[in-house]
Chains A and B, each alone.
Chain A
């Protein structure tokens, strides 16, 4: 599916490609030659701490600012030579609310409809539909400056959707939102993806990338520290294990003598076995326990989450390859 045909079919196989994207402000390098490829119809998440260059990457790819160097294509159009065609293909919801606070939510929507040159009746219909979909109908006649953070962010996305863009940039769409608004936003993003839209998402929340993204790139010090699916990233670092807890010291000792590779904690009566959490490995452990005739009171499987990955990859100022186990995953022996 991602294979390039001799003549690229109309929906470009890659919504976004960036090669050697470079941007510096004065002597400070923000993006140090990063490469990105986002297949059409997928969610790509750029993950990184504050100041990693996420917003700069979005600003460049959404034509807001120009790159210093790099071969950049969005929607099949070259950013450097055909920015206007890129703009026709994209929608952007920036980190800072891009709504006109002085006018009402409805007026904001109609403004977008007019700028997308929708016929008047179609514009009104689109505006009403989107306001309804984002639960803003009631507030439609109020000035946007009176909206809560979550409402403003919903209006922001609704405005972005007026022109039915095929590629959507969302720069930290849930930063500063309460948990309920955040989940609403996640639902909205998931719905977008079902319509075949490509989403380029930046976030500092690992859970968010984990929840939404097909592929994640960890940006650190202007470089891509690691890239892959959430699962692939988790496999990058060690720390997966199975933990067995006992209350009966005899059972504990029996189990420990069987499970030789386990790390023992004689005081807490727990055993910890390295494991990838797969069914086969778990069964092997359970079989061994059965054959010894002991039963653990509690069995927990710990796989490293993105937090572990994130800390491991961004813990140090060194760039390039991720360093192993700069920080042990949080449930290992102390």
Chain B
């Protein structure tokens, strides 16, 4: 009889603490993986830093010509570029998430998790939170590099800094859930890597590197009506004091919508019978 006491304590727990507890356990597992096998993390971290340096020092001279009517210098381009690079960092991490989720699904232990009386979504929530933490750490590091090469916020208050960080976290959660779904929908890690490509491409076709006005007319709607552009514009507004307009609300709506969609998609994929 004493041996059943552990299971009865499980059933007496209400749903939310169970979700929280199991997800925390799964998160610990994911962080352990990331710590033991840091190559994927490093790869994700280095890409935005390389891009930042590349755009500032190699393309910067030419690119800045498109800013502020052509008279901008390099430091102005840095100011323009950094918010985009920060969001690109947020966008690059989910691409890794898709691959690691897909890889994890091939592991036998996932079948074990499915036959245990744990919160069903906890494996996925663990992946999501682990990736978001990773993305935010990356953002801090990329931000530090940006500051080191001359990025300065013009007038951001502490509250605006906080809001900027919150915005990055919100966008990160949204794209990570989509990436978790992509990882689950992919038959293997290679396919997951391909499927996640749009997440990497999307920032390039936003206002991250050049203003939308400088793009061909037919392409402008594509760049304008995608989630990265309002997020980047909001971040610019918070850090550099430019006009935010509707971008703030648009970003929140995009993020909440993508989060809901990504979570629903991931859960329904995970709840299907495994092959």
Partner-B contacts on A (CB < 8 A): 62-66, 84-85, 87-90, 92, 94, 96-103, 107-108, 111, 114-118, 143, 159-160, 163-164, 166
Taking A100-B109, A103-B36, A108-B109 as given, write out 15 further A-B residue pairs in contact, using a Cβ cutoff of 8 Å, ordered by the A residue number: A62-B115, A63-B114, A64-B273, A65-B274, A84-B117, A85-B117, A87-B117, A90-B115, A92-B111, A99-B109, A101-B107, A114-B21, A116-B10, A117-B10, A160-B112
A65 to B22, CA, bound (A): 22
Q: Specify which of B3, B33, B37, B109 is in contact with A166 (CB 8 Å cutoff).
A: B3
Is A96's CB under 8 angstroms from B108's CB?
A: yes
Once the chains are docked, how many angstroms separate the CA of A88 from the CA of B9? 11
Across the interface, B117 reaches (CB within 8 A) one of A65, A88, A143, A166, namely: A88
CA distance A2 to B83 in the complex (A): 71
Contact of A65 among B11, B33, B113, B273 (CB under 8 A): B273
Contact B29 A117 (CB under 8 A): no
A100-B108 Cα distance, complex, nearest whole Å: 7
Q: Determine the distance from Cα of A146 to Cα of B139 in the docked complex, in whole angstroms.
A: 35
Residues on the B chain within 8 Å of A108, using CB: 109
Residues of A within 8 A of B22 (CB): 115
Query: Which 7 pairs from chain A and chain B are nearest by CB?
Result: A98-B112, A88-B117, A87-B117, A98-B108, A164-B3, A65-B273, A114-B25
Chain B residues near A99 (CB-CB < 8 A)? 108-109
Question: Contacts of B6 on A, CB cut-off 8 Å?
Answer: 116-118, 163-164
Q: Known: A64-B115, A111-B25. Is A94-B10 also a contact (CB below 8 A)?
A: no
Q: Which of B3, B9, B33, B274 has the most CB of A within 10 A?
A: B3
CB–CB A94/B25 < 8 A: no
Give a binary string over B102-137; 1 marks a CB under 8 Å from any A CB, 0 the rest.
000001110111111110000000000000000000
Sample of 10 A–B contacts (CB below 8 Å): A62-B115, A64-B115, A88-B10, A97-B108, A99-B109, A102-B33, A107-B32, A108-B109, A115-B113, A163-B6
Contacts of B117 in A (CB 8 A): 84-85, 87-88
CB-contact partner of A117 in B9, B113, B273, under 8 A = B9
Tell whether B214 is near chain A: CB-to-CB under 8 Å.
no
Partner of B4, one of A87, A100, A166: A166
B159 within 8 A of A: no
Neighbouring B residues of A63 by C-beta, 8 Å: 114-115
Task: Find B116's partner among A66, A87, A107, A143 (CB 8 Å cutoff).
Answer: A87
* Inter-chain contacts of B28 with A (CB < 8 A): 111, 114
Contacts of B32 in A (CB 8 A): 102-103, 107
Give the docked Cα–Cα distance between A160 and B116 (Å): 10
A115 touches B116 (CB 8 A): yes
B13 close to chain A: CB less than 8 A: yes
Whether the Cβ atoms of B9 and A98 lie closer than 8 Å is no
**Cross-chain contact of A159 among B3, B21, B112 (Cβ < 8 A):** B112
Q: Once bound together, how far apart are the Cα atoms of A86 and B78, in whole Å? A: 58
- Judged by a CB distance under 8 angstroms, whether B7 is at the interface is yes
Residues of B within 8 A of A96 (CB): 108, 111
CB of A92 within 8 A of CB of B115, answer yes
Given the complex, which residues of A lie within 8 Å of B37, measured CB to CB?
A: 102
Please name all residues of chain B whose beta carbon is closer than 8 Å to the beta carbon of A64 when the two chains form the complex: 111, 114-115, 273-274
List which B131-167 residues lie within 8 A (CB) of chain A. Answer: none
A65-B273, A116-B10 as given contacts; A98 in contact with B116, CB under 8 Å: no
Give the complex CA separation of A157 and B29 in angstroms: 20
Residue of A nearest to B4 (CB): A166
Residues of B within 8 A of A88 (CB): 7, 10-11, 117
